[in-house]
Amino acid sequence: MKKQDKIIFFDTTLRDGEQSPGASMNFNEKLLVAKQLETLGVDVIEAGFPISSPGDFESVKSIAKSVKTSIVAGLARASEKDINACWDAVKIAKKPRIHIFLATSDLHIEKKLNKTRPQILDMAVKAVKYAKTLCKDVEFSAEDAGRSDMDFLCGVVEAVIDAGALTVNIPDTVGYTMPAEFGAKIAEIKKRVSNISKAVISVHCHNDLGLAVANSLSAIENGARQVECTINGIGERAGNASLEEIAMAIKVRPLYYNVSHNIKTKEIYKTSKLVSSLTGVAVQVNKAIVGANAFAHESGIHQDGMLKDRSTYEIMTPSDVGVPESSLVLGKHSGRHALFTRIKSLGYKLEQASLDQIFEKFKILADKKKVIFDDDIVALIEEDAAAEREAFSLAYQSASSGTGTIPTATVKVINNDEKGGAVKEAACGVGPVDATYRAIDKITKMDIKLTDFSLKAVSSGVDALGEVFLKAKYKGMVFSGKGASTDIVEASAKAYIQAINKAKAFERRNK
């Protein structure tokens, strides 16, 4: 039997994903995500766009330093300045890659770049040749390839391969093409570009019409062997192709695709949770593979079928993608062993000191809630991880409100940058959350403006943990925050402080 081709998974959560509205992550968060992507088995991690800011440069460099098995790519425009910055950031990696992009559609060439086709061809070749003097592994992306003239696109692809590009990426930058049409473009490139066997064809599909995954799979059917995607499908506008959906389609339909990949699918759920919690971009409940309802069976007929044989209504099992099967209910009588075993089964490997701290918080929560769900535990773990990186932490909070009274709040916040810097403040507001935020503002003295606020229950029952997601603007940048508690004002305070901490970390890095 013919050996199966391997699909190279190129994850751009930290670059295209992080570009999506409100999904920014700080330095430590990006490093956490990169390490998890490596554990997930991602072949190429696009760590960022080094020239775009000093903060991005530093995080690409630190990811390049700490990732050992995956290729670490940085993005660059077709200019020596960009390519030099990119190389400076990735060169420390065990396997570095320079990823150059330049638009090839007439619309972009004329309207955005104010250039001609021959100028673009020349720039592309020069950039790839220059990058090759620094790095063996160079990828070229023909931005807006989905709307590019096929003759010109094929010419550029052939020229950059001659110049040394080992991967040629065909992005559907604006999510415009249809699956059969996009597949046909890949087949045509394969047929017409004389030196195509010297490079890997990659695709990078956006989801403006909800077709990013379908287009990527159609490209695979037609010869693409690298897919660029993101966790939970986050990315510019409607997002990028979702890694988990492509990986599972290939796994669930092996005879149809007859290709394999290195993704450890049991790590998918944990990676999805990590990315959504760090970016604050929630996963829609009915999202394929990782949505809360992806494996929930509500109808009686379906439940009956499932009890007789799971495969009646499930084409994959929750455990295939690492969704923990909770056979044991945790509550106030559960001991350390049960909690630590559950934490391990959720995929976390934590130091003893963190486990001890989480156990303390678990006991406090278990006193307030009868049943502790996996989501509650994940919230405790993430809160603990965030605490290590905080400039400010909430020590105490109380708020009062009611009909005919002025809502007031008192908070005590520890300034971790100043030893012994615990400050107490009180304020009034239009509601208890507003009063709490005003009190926090008096302490942190940061001119931060709330732009988005949402509250949801992360587990079931009237004693569910309430989780607040918010976005706040500071010096023109948007920072997200998340906090969970059985008390929604406390959850709101935690989320606000997390956003403030992200803004503070950003400010520190860019000083």
Contact 251, 320 (CB under 8 A): yes
| Euclidean distance between CA atoms 280 and 448, whole angstroms | 17
Which stretch, 165-173, 257-265, 291-299, 480-488, contacts ligand KIV (CB under 6 A)? 165-173
Contact 450, 475 (CB under 8 A): no
Beta pairing class for 392-400 and 71-77: unpaired
82 interacts with ligand KIV by CB under 6 A: no
143 binds, among ligand KIV, Zn ion, none (CB under 5 to 8 A by kind): ligand KIV
173 interacts with ligand KIV by CB under 6 A: yes
User: Shortest Cβ distance from residue 205 to Zn ion (Å)?
Assistant: 9
50 interacts with ligand KIV by CB under 6 A: no
Instruction: Spell out a b/e string for 459-490, using b for 16 or more CB atoms within 10 Å of the CB, else e.
Output: beeeebbbbbbbbbbbeeebbbbbbbbbebbb
177 interacts with ligand KIV by CB under 6 A: no
Per-residue contact track with ligand KIV, 193 to 222, x per CB under 6 A? -----------x-x----------------
Which stretch, 15-23, 208-216, 373-381, 461-469, contacts Zn ion (CB under 5 A)? 15-23
In terms of Cα–Cα distance, which of 222, 226, 228 is closest to 199?
A: 226
Which one of 48, 50, 96, 171 is in contact with ligand KIV (CB under 6 A)? 171
16 interacts with Zn ion by CB under 5 A: yes
Which stretch, 84-92, 168-176, 181-189, 297-305, contacts ligand KIV (CB under 6 A)? 168-176
Q: What is the DSSP letter of 113?
A: S
18 interacts with ligand KIV by CB under 6 A: no
The two tokens of residue 20 are 């999506």
Element (H, E) at 439: helix 432-444
User: Shortest Cβ distance from residue 303 to ligand KIV (Å)?
Assistant: 42
Amino acid residing at 173: T
The two tokens of residue 239 are 């997002």
Which single residue is written with the structure tokens 């075993």?
Answer: 341
481 interacts with ligand KIV by CB under 6 A: no
Strand partners, 477: 474
101 interacts with ligand KIV by CB under 6 A: yes
Total of residues contacting ligand KIV (CB under 6 A): 9
Q: What is the CA radius of gyration of the chain?
A: 25
Is the Cβ of residue 233 or residue 429 nearer to ligand KIV in the bound state? 233
* Measured distance between the N- and C-terminal CA atoms of the chain, rounded to whole angstroms: 59
User: Shortest Cβ distance from residue 111 to ligand KIV (Å)?
Assistant: 16
CA 271 to mean position of chain CA atoms: 8
User: Shortest Cβ distance from residue 17 to ligand KIV (Å)?
Assistant: 10
498 interacts with ligand KIV by CB under 6 A: no
Which residues bind to ligand KIV, rule: CB under 6 A? 16, 101, 141, 143, 169, 171, 173, 204, 206
